[in-house]
Amino acid sequence: MAEKKHKTSSKPRKKKYAVFILVIMPAILIVSMFFVLRLGPVISHFRVNTTIVEFGTLETILQVEAVVAREETRYSFPSTGRINWNVVSGEKVGKQQKIADIIVSESDQSMLMEIEMIDMRIQTLESGEEVESFSENATHQLNNRIDHLVSDLSQNVQMNQYELAFKNRYVLEETVQQLKTIQASKDLPEMSIEELKRRKETIQQEIQSQSNEIRAEESGVYSFGSDDLEKNLSVEGLDQEAIVDIFSKSPPDIKSMQENDEYYRIIHQHNWKLIARVPEDYLPFYEVGVRAQIRDIYQQRVIRGTVKDVIESEEGYFVVFKLNQPLEGWHNQRFLEVELIPRKFDGLKVPVSALIEKNGIEGVYRVDLNGYAVFMPTEEIGRAYGTVVVKEGRIELPMRIVGNNQEDEVEMVDTLRRYDQIIVNPENIEEGQRVR
């Protein structure tokens, strides 16, 4: 007979499942809650960011291309003859100081070249160097310099750097002249140093008797070129319409006008003005009479001046600064790239994200020596670019006295000190929590 197959009952299996649900799951839940409560501070520690508080300066900066106004007089060059300058652009000159010789004949030019040859020969003899060796080395160096200048000049023209091209052209001409002088000096007769000096003095006297001179009619700073804006953009008579008009032009347009080589200028005041267009929200920092700071962005040099005027027009707002300290290029450029510094704060620098308000008092969480987060009230000095500057050491806090309509008093409390460790993201913790 075939044996009967017995079916396995499903009741024990259901019973085991019920025991798991009723006993094991609550136990797992209790253990999980225990670990969450015990490890919460440890887990939150990995979400806490801290930084070290340091003392520093916070500046608000506005970079602008400002217009220069100078008190200057323009003079024209003579129509004939070659100019041999005795001064360089930006050099201070006195009244009636000779600033150039006008070479009107070939004999003048040859005598000037002979003076240069004599100076070179004297320098060679005094250094004890052989004349032939000196000439070869100097010729090689000047040829290399000429090659570099030609390359720079070509690059200046391609990149529309007209001012640099203008300067490099004159340097190239001077270098070529030096090369000619060295080559011609080989034909200079052998003479002692004393004989060379006497010969030089004789030539100078002869040139002085034959050549015309350019002498400064007033003392000031010599500068080359003109942009035809000297009268409209002067310190004493600043034309507001000219200011608005010049800001409508691009700097290359003005710089191309400055290439005019028919004029030179004498700037006869050390006071000058700088005009900058600023956004309207910067006007509260630049009221007339306010002291201002301006930085040269290339030399990173800060000078101080005074707000002389504020001009409002349809083209915008223009602040006029009066200055008595020079900036690089102030004597020969109409536009200067500078940084205005409307506000400047000194104190402890704290990220804005570190600030938190507690009971109506703004402060930060400082990490104490035991690793706990402690609330420290702060007093703000200023803020910009995501950083707040606060006072250091001790600050005053209002202390409210209830009753009798008494006025609030203040109390001195401790605040942050440099090199304190603070929490940058205080929203992740609570006061008194251990963070390390």
Show the 3-state SS of 371-422.
Answer: CEEEEEECCEEEEECCEEEECCCEEEEEECCCCCCCCCEEEEEECCCCCCEE
How far apart (Å, rounded) are the C-alpha atoms in residues 194 and 144? 33
**Residue 17 maps to a domain:** no
Among the ranges given (142-146, 316-320, 387-391), the one the predictor scored with the smallest mean pLDDT? 142-146
How far apart (Å, rounded) are the C-alpha atoms in residues 275 and 322? 9
**Residue 123 maps to a domain:** yes
What's CA 191's distance to the chain center, in Å? Answer: 54
Q: Shortest CA distance to 232 belongs to which of 72, 345, 6, 410? A: 72
- Taking the CB of residue 395, how many other CB atoms lie within 10 A of it? 19
Domain boundary among 280, 309, 344: 344
Q: How many domains does the chain have?
A: 3
Among the ranges given (133-137, 179-183, 386-390), the one the predictor scored with the smallest mean pLDDT? 133-137
pTM of the model: 0.60
Is residue 358 located within the same domain as residue 410? yes
Mean pLDDT of the chain: 81
Is residue 157 located within the same domain as residue 224? no
Contacts of 215 (CB under 8 A, 6+ apart): 96, 97, 98, 99
CATH (domain of 396): 2.40.420.20
What are the respective helix, strand and coil percentages of the chain, to the nearest 5? 35, 35, 30
Is residue 289 located within the same domain as residue 338? yes
**Residue 184 maps to a domain:** yes
For residue 210, pLDDT over 70 is answered with no
**Residue 268 maps to a domain:** yes
| Greatest mean pLDDT range, 76-90, 94-108, 261-275 | 261-275
Is residue 233 located within the same domain as residue 189? no
For residue 91, pLDDT over 80 is answered with yes
For residue 55, pLDDT over 80 is answered with yes
Residue ranges making up the domain that contains 197? 105-210
For residue 351, pLDDT over 80 is answered with yes
Is residue 263 located within the same domain as residue 367? no
Is residue 224 located within the same domain as residue 283? yes
Mean pLDDT of the region 363-388: 94
**Residue 25 maps to a domain:** no
Contacts of 176 (CB under 8 A, 6+ apart): 146
For residue 211, pLDDT over 70 is answered with no
**Residue 36 maps to a domain:** no
Place of tokens 């080395």: 137
Contacts of 50 (CB under 8 A, 6+ apart): 367, 421, 422, 423, 424, 435
Is residue 121 located within the same domain as residue 194? yes
Is residue 326 located within the same domain as residue 300? yes
Is residue 115 located within the same domain as residue 193? yes
| Greatest mean pLDDT range, 71-80, 89-98, 133-142 | 89-98
Better-scored residue on pLDDT, 269 or 402? 269
The H-or-E segment that residue 358 falls in is strand 356-358
pLDDT digits (tens, 9 = 90+) for 274-320: 999 999 999 999 999 999 999 988 888 899 999 999 999 888 999 99
Is residue 245 located within the same domain as residue 327? yes
**Residue 89 maps to a domain:** no
**Residue 159 maps to a domain:** yes
Domain boundary among 210, 244, 269: 210
Q: Shortest CA distance to 184 belongs to which of 114, 108, 106? A: 114
Task: Give pLDDT, residue 392.
Answer: 94
How would you class 7 by CB atoms within 10 Å of its CB: exposed for 0-12, middle for 13-18, buried for 19 or more?
exposed
Is residue 265 located within the same domain as residue 381? no
Is residue 199 located within the same domain as residue 126? yes
Task: Give pLDDT, residue 141.
Answer: 76
